Structure 1
Amino acid sequence: MTATVERSRTARAADAAVDAPADGALVLTDIRRSFTQAGDVLEVLRGASCTVRPGELVALVGPSGAGKSTLLHIAGLLEHADGGSIRVGGSDATRLNDAARTALRRRTIGFVYQFHHLLPEFSAEENIVLPQMIAGTARSDARVRARELLALVGLEKRAGHRPAQLSGGEQQRVAIARALANRPQVLIADEPTGNLDHHTAESVFAMLADLVHGQGVGALVATHNLDLARRMDRVLEMRDGLLVEV
């Protein structure tokens, strides 16, 4: 466990409060979502609420089918809720149209999944440059940012390698660097270490924690690994469609 992960929760909260949006990096209030299956209404989210502060690493736990992925999709502006409100980086996203949601998502949210989803025909550096260019960053500036992030994740010497030339842990490190490329205020991660062996998962988690705390990003991380969850700043459990801090 790194020194950063071992810092007290109080110290981390104080660090996160500096220049933080008054209402948190991510604020979900009374989120509701239901689905209809074979004529029956299934209430997946029944008023889930939480606040993730800048520089805070929050675990989201619960059994499969409890609604974690649905909540992450709503938090990441990939899916609409049936009710409730969502604020990202201080902006109210509740009633935005699809174009405005896409623009806000691109500007403020980064995503990390269990599988890295890197573009196989591009190098590690290029995989980090591309999302920046899509967001309007000049290629030269995007390359500087990509090299900075690769150095932070310990892969500056692997910048020219394609995903197939990287190990699983290295691929996931590039995926995390890519998620942070546009300097998001919120990081949404769904089982980011779930596809890795224990030793590699430990290494990737330590790096992720260092980056979240160091870059001041508010991170909501779904995981089935309770050991990793307990080492995050807070743990939220999905229980009967609600979020309960444990």
Structure 2
Amino acid sequence: MSETPAFELRRVVRRFEQAGRPLEVLRGVDLIVQPGELVALVGPSGAGKSTLLQIAGLLERPTAGDVLIGGHSCGTMGDDARTGMRRHSIGFVYQFHHLLPEFSALENVVLPQLIAGLNRKEAEERAHELLAMVGLAEREDHRPARLSGGEQQRVAIVRAMANVPKLLLADEPTGNLDPHTAEDVFGHLTRICRAVRLGALIATHNLELAARMDRVLEMRDGLVVEYSR
């Protein structure tokens, strides 16, 4: 029996009003990401990548179509159910780490687990494990200001994975890093996604990193198509 996709978009449309006229940013997007699969999303600024990620992350509702996370349709969910789905089934990583500066690396990874209802002992055990997976076992007591940019982004990645989501959404996760650090962070992200069978949709302008993912898709004319140079 085939595995349930981590994530699926079905005929997703997103339409805005601009100067009294409709502007269709997404024109019936179909997309599937399987567990453990890393999918790159490329395209010029303004092509609709951020809109697609907002809809995929249940932060914005489509004009038409459906979003499925782990096989569960989110199209008719109320706001509370969508919030619960984001908390337990979706992880987010952005270009800037957005770590809480007054908390240590460990506490930044523990906090979302406590919010999700896990007890502190289990949350701390998982945080220790995740930080060790990205080589930060010796740095977990440090606050963000004492970490390098790459270390901060590694903390942000494991924080996104702390609640064992089905889907990771990343928007330019290495865009604020130098090439060497970007390579290091991407390597950690790839290994941890493979290890926990986490589906990932990663928007990036870095075509070299994109080419190393399982698939490269492009936003073009409001649709998602296979990327070709």
Superposed CA offset, 1:53-97 (max 9, x none): 000000000000000000000000010000011100111111101
AA of the residue aligned to 2:218: E
> Per residue, is there more helix in 1 or in 2?
1
Q: Which runs of 4+ in 1 moved over 2 A?
A: none
AA of the residue aligned to 2:95: Q
Which of 128, 141, 144 does residue 125 from structure 2 map onto?
Answer: 144
Q: CA deviation at 1:40?
A: 2.1
Q: CA deviation at 1:104?
A: 1.1
Aligned to 1:26: 7
Structure 2 Cα separation of the partners of residues 39 and 195 of structure 1: 36
Q: Structure 1: 5+ residue runs without aligned partners?
A: 1-16
Structure 2 Cα separation of the partners of residues 44 and 64 of structure 1: 12
Alignment of 1:1-246 (within 5 A): 20-21=3-4, 24-246=5-227
Query: Secondary structure in 2 aligned to 1:161?
Result: coil
AA of the residue aligned to 1:78: L
Structure 1 vs Structure 2 CA RMSD: 1.0
Structure 1 Cα separation of the partners of residues 44 and 173 of structure 2: 17
Structure 2 Cα separation of the partners of residues 121 and 230 of structure 1: 37
AA of the residue aligned to 1:227: E
Q: CA deviation at 1:33?
A: 0.3
Larger mean Cα displacement after TM superposition, 127-136 or 39-48: 39-48
Q: Structure 2: 5+ residue runs without aligned partners?
A: none
Query: Secondary structure in 2 aligned to 1:81?
Result: coil
Larger mean Cα displacement after TM superposition, 42-51 or 32-41: 32-41
TM-score, normalised by the number of residues in structure 2: 0.97
Structure 1 Cα separation of the partners of residues 160 and 136 of structure 2: 15
AA of the residue aligned to 1:115: F
Larger mean Cα displacement after TM superposition, 40-49 or 149-158: 40-49
AA of the residue aligned to 1:143: E
Task: Give the number of equivalent residue pairs.
Answer: 227
